[in-house]
Structure 1
Amino acid sequence: MRKIVLLCAAGMSTSMLVTKMKKYAESEGYDCEIDAHAVSEAKQYGAEADIVLLGPQVRFNLAKVKEQCPNCPVEAIDMAAYGAMDGSKVIRRVKEVLGD
């Protein structure tokens, strides 16, 4: 099972994206756990993640989060995918990065 962590400012809009990502992952039979947290919790939740994704509103923290989560890929979510709440596009990118 893959562990995907999304980080954002407060977690509200990102939680909607998490729901869409879970729905798409389930339809594809992709075994993953997806959670959203505040970017201030990156070190705590990123430690056990397979991948960490940043919401566009906190993408300026990318370098800092990469330092805090050195054992997994860290990327900013595509702005268009985030704005459209396109969970399928985000999951496809996760699978591409992780080689799944």
Structure 2
Amino acid sequence: MKNIFLFCDAGMSTSLLVSKMRESAKVHNVDVEIQALPFGKSFEIIQNNKADCILLGPQIKFLLKDIEEKCEKHNIPLDVVNSIAYGTMNGEKVLKQAIKMIKANQNK
């Protein structure tokens, strides 16, 4: 099972997107655990090496540089959720983005 974390300002705006991602994972039989959390929890998740992939909500993309080095140190792929997929709550597209990141990281 792979662990995907989405971080936003308070962890609430990504909750609906996470629900959509879980629905898509279930339909496609993808074994993942997906959680939405406030950005303040990101350092704990990274430090404890609990993530296989981290995505930031578009509204906090300005914080990308704040955690980029920490993610690299722990070999955790990091990106910002595609803003169109986020705005349309396209869980399948965001799930594909995360899976692609995880696979690319495994092939390094």
- Structure number, greater radius of gyration: 2
Instruction: Give the distance between the partners of 1:60 and 1:13, measured in 2 at CA.
Output: 16
Task: Give the TM-score of the pair, scaled to structure 1.
Answer: 0.93
Instruction: Give the distance between the partners of 1:81 and 1:72, measured in 2 at CA.
Output: 22
Residue number among 65, 87, 92 corresponding to 1:88 in the alignment? 92
Residue number among 47, 58, 61 corresponding to 2:60 in the alignment? 58
Q: Which amino acid aligns with 1:59?
A: K
* Contact in 1 for aligned 2:12/2:38 (Cα 8 Å): no
Unpaired runs of 5+ residues, structure 2, are none
Unpaired runs of 5+ residues, structure 1, are none
Residue number among 67, 70, 91 corresponding to 2:69 in the alignment? 67
After superposition, the CA RMSD in angstroms is 1.3
Aligned-partner SS, 1:82 = helix
Question: Is 1:4 paired with 2:4?
Answer: yes
